[in-house]
Amino acid sequence: MPMWNRLHAWLRHLWLDAADTRRAIDDAMLERLRAHVAASETRHTGEIRIHVEAALPRPYVWRHLRDATPMATLVRERATDLFGELRVWDTQHNNGVLIYLLLAEHEIELVADRGLNDIVDGQQWQAMLQRMGAAFARGQFEDGLSQAVQEVSAPLTTHFPAEAQAKPNELPDTPTRG
């Protein structure tokens, strides 16, 4: 990738901050997304987390600039790191899913725990990402994230249907913003 493109990406990530995340995903939208997650989780035993951030932390962007590490690789790494930080991996049935949205790149990433990854193959995850990506490319973040919750809920409902007794809510339903 030409140095100019890497420098442009670096500047874009330096320019955006948490205030941009709050403007894109306001408190009312955060509540509507929380309700989507909560409603979804009544139909299956999985746990869904949403995390949205404006830009990658500087060390990630520095690797893009210095080493020409592809942005897609860095977005995936960041999502995987957040999967651990937000404890999405720490669920009873190992069926947590993180939906990660990076505003600077209009990129979405899904990270699923091993219980679900053993059942849903990589091609299915990629197909979901492609379907969701169109809304994000148009800047329709609420539509894209709502669709992401629906897309992720389908295999969870099929393979991990809700049990007869109420299940504990192991992770918060409210999306987080970075």
Domains of the chain: 3-177 (3.10.310.50)
Q: Are 24 and 141 in contact (CB under 8 A)?
A: yes
Q: Which residue from 92, 94, 107, 113 is spatially nearest to 51, judged by alpha carbons? A: 107
Q: Tell me if 97 sits within 8 A of 109, measured CB to CB.
A: no
Total residues belonging to the chain: 178
pLDDT exceeds 70 at position 165: no
Q: Where are the alpha helices (DSSP H) in 18-121?
A: 18-24, 27-41, 58-67, 71-85, 114-117
Tell me the β-bridge partners of 102. Answer: 53, 107
Does pLDDT of 1 surpass 90?
Answer: no
Report pLDDT digits (tens) over 71-103.
899 999 999 999 999 999 989 899 999 999 999
Mean per-residue pLDDT for 1-19? Answer: 75
Q: Which amino acid makes up residue 95? A: N
Share of the chain above pLDDT 90, in %: 62
Dist CA 142 CA 25 (whole Å): 8
Whether pLDDT at 164 is above 70 = no
Residue 133 has pLDDT above 60, yes or no: yes
Instruction: Give residue 4's pLDDT.
Output: 67
The mean pLDDT value of the chain amounts to: 90
pLDDT at 111 over 80: yes
The pLDDT score that the predictor gives to residue 131 is 83
The least confident of 31-40, 116-125, 133-142 is 133-142
For residue 56, pLDDT over 60 is answered with yes
pLDDT score of 10 more than 80: no
